[in-house]
Amino acid sequence: MDAMKPPRISVRHVSKTWQGARGPVEALRDISIDVGPHEFVSVVGPSGCGKSTLLGLVAGFNDPSAGEILADGRKIMGPSPERGVMFQDYALFPWRTVQDNISFGPLALGRPKQEREATARRLIALVGLEGFEQRYPHELSGGMRQRCALARMLANDPAVWLMDEPLAALDPQTRIVMQDELLRIWGDGRAEDQRRAVLFVTHGIDEAVHLSDRVVVLARRPGRIHAVIDIDLPRPRAPLRGSAQAAKIAADIWNLIRDEAVAAIREEPG
């Protein structure tokens, strides 16, 4: 992150404990990270390390048990259209068309119909869904559903993109295509000041390296910061897919979490 620019998101000494049926469960412990205003930051770690919990706290869906989270220097007190969220399971309204799903955010904010329709048309073109405006989610492929979900997230023009395993449900080929499409829409080939802040949760280490400026590696539950890796690769990234440099960084990250990932799998209930 550029030290001269204030962070868009600041997570300061955040911990989170859930009250489970068998007692308290400590999900996160003393997490501190910043996300710059034009920075793509991914979070990886073994299963159960609290990646999605962290994203939910930044989104404002839940409150931390300790510490605080700031957006542009102000404490996050709940969800906001300034922080758009995209989920793994699409979360599209099945009874709404592509166009109506995308325009839902502006509708909720009370935007005029003409403005909502113009926003939807622009984003449909941006994500390549022209001709599918009146289709329903069940009529779309997985990749098209995620394009629709991405467009819906963008409809309120959020300053921060919060993305929780958004490509995990896709087949491998579609996932690769969507990674590069996500970078294109984010502005991978444009000037840095045209990009938005992104916090991206993924199990895919290769994916994190391909997309990110930095990768935050969480340790096994309770989630703690094990390492923060700068991804010193040039942009745009598409030409570097499969490169020796990217493979070396991914291998180094895997070596950091391999033993904990194995232990986490062994601890999962059968």
Q: How far apart are CA 48 and CA 261, in angstroms?
A: 9
Cis peptide before 37 (omega within 30 of 0): no
Q: Are 51 and 257 in contact (CB under 8 A)?
A: no
Looking up tokens 């391999």, which residue turns up? 258
What are 270's two structure tokens? 């059968």
Tokens of 36: 């710059």
Predicted local distance difference test score (pLDDT) of residue 1: 61
The pLDDT tens digits for 44-80 are 999 889 999 999 999 999 999 999 999 999 999 999 9
Residue ranges of the domains in the chain?
A: 9-82+158-267, 88-157
pLDDT at residue 15, as a whole number: 98
Residue type, 6: P
The domain covering 9-82+158-267 belongs, at the CATH homologous superfamily level, to P-loop containing nucleotide triphosphate hydrolases (3.40.50.300)
CB 43 within 8 Å of CB 216: yes
Strand, helix or coil for residue 159: coil
pLDDT at 270: 46
The model's pTM is: 0.93
Q: CB–CB of 87/164 below 8 Å?
A: yes
Contact, 55 vs 43, CB < 8 A?
yes
In the prediction, which pLDDT does 89 show?
Answer: 80
**Coil, helix or strand at residue 252:** helix
Give the number of other CB atoms < 10 A from CB of residue 231: 22
Write out residues in the chain with pLDDT < 70, as ranges.
1-4, 264, 266-270
43-53 tens-digit pLDDT: 999 988 999 99
